[in-house]
A = this chain, B = another copy of it.
């Protein structure tokens, strides 16, 4: 069968305990002995048995990263940054940790199940990214699970997610509301008064916060919103395309379309173009997130840049205990308005 610690010990003429200590480097071992052990390990091509080790030591080197959609660069970028800090192989010192990215697909059950799975594996830390689902029972279940994880010694960090008070989780929240407000204020400042809004899926904190920011801006400028100006959809391009067509049908006099995120905004651009509208001469478009491709659109997208990589890196460091948690366990991360070619003054009505 496979090579075990005992085999290595036999070969190196030491006890299994010594081999373990050499491998973990947490106990003094004479240099000559260490060398003998290492040689045996090498010769036998020994690979530690992870489960056995985790069981005996009651710790694991797994770190979980939960994302809503791994195919979406929004999450990919965060995950990448988190993982880089987790250390994984090639990371800085410390035992090698296995960062596992789990794709929930936005499904509440999966989210919960993954958390259970991670709990089962006795994960060292868990980072939850992206907006949360606003279903009360689900939220309660999640909070309970998180609390349990924290109690069991797993560090839980929320990255780009609203805080979960009293769970012990540390939150790095994106200021979606503020960003949304700033973005819409920019459009209002250009003179827009009739703005369509393509929101994300309902029951999502991200969706709600961005929309609230938008509405706050409208309200602050005394613009009364027509209920037909808001359409809900998914966070993808196709959804943006369809929603824009719908928006145009409902009110062709709209001079601007604000999208839930950049992918949606790109879909909106395509729909507008296909409808014979010029951007931004006829209709301005704005996105959110500032993903890498947004600057490549023609015209390039006006959007709110979220420091995805920075936030992810920080979340990763906190998860590893390499950076202190923010005061109160909560930090708000602001976005930055990026004014680009897709927004301009409204057409003369």
Contact = CB atoms under 8 A, between A and B. Distances in A.
Nearest to A63: B100
A330 interface: no
B89 A122 contact: no
A77 B102 CA distance: 14
Contacts of A71: 73, 76-77, 79-80
Given A71-B80, A113-B89, A266-B296, A50 B120 contact: yes
A76 B72 contact: yes
Interface in A52-66: 52-55, 60-62
Contact of A293 (B100, B117, B266): B266
A242 interface: no
A32 to B, nearest CB: 26
A45 to B, nearest CB: 7
Quick one: copies of this chain in the complex? 2
Judged by DSSP, the binding face of A is: helix
A321 interface: no
A308 to B, nearest CB: 9
A49 B55 contact: yes
A110 interface: yes
B107 A51 contact: no
Nearest to A101: B101
Contacts of A112: 89
Nearest to A123: B50
A116 B47 contact: yes
A229 interface: no
Nearest to A292: B237
A121 B99 CA distance: 13
Contact of A101 (B48, B100, B109, B236): B100
A190 interface: no
Interface of A: 2, 45, 47-55, 60-62, 69-73, 75-77, 79-80, 83-84, 88-90, 96, 98-103, 105, 107, 109-110, 112-114, 116-122, 148, 152, 236-237, 263, 266-267, 269-270, 273, 292-293, 295-298
Given A73-B73, A270-B295, 15 more contacts: A50-B51, A50-B120, A51-B54, A52-B55, A70-B80, A79-B103, A80-B103, A80-B105, A90-B105, A96-B113, A96-B117, A237-B292, A266-B296, A297-B298, A298-B298
Listed from nearest, the 8 A-B pairs whose CB atoms lie closest are A89-B113, A100-B100, A51-B54, A101-B101, A298-B298, A71-B76, A50-B120, A50-B121
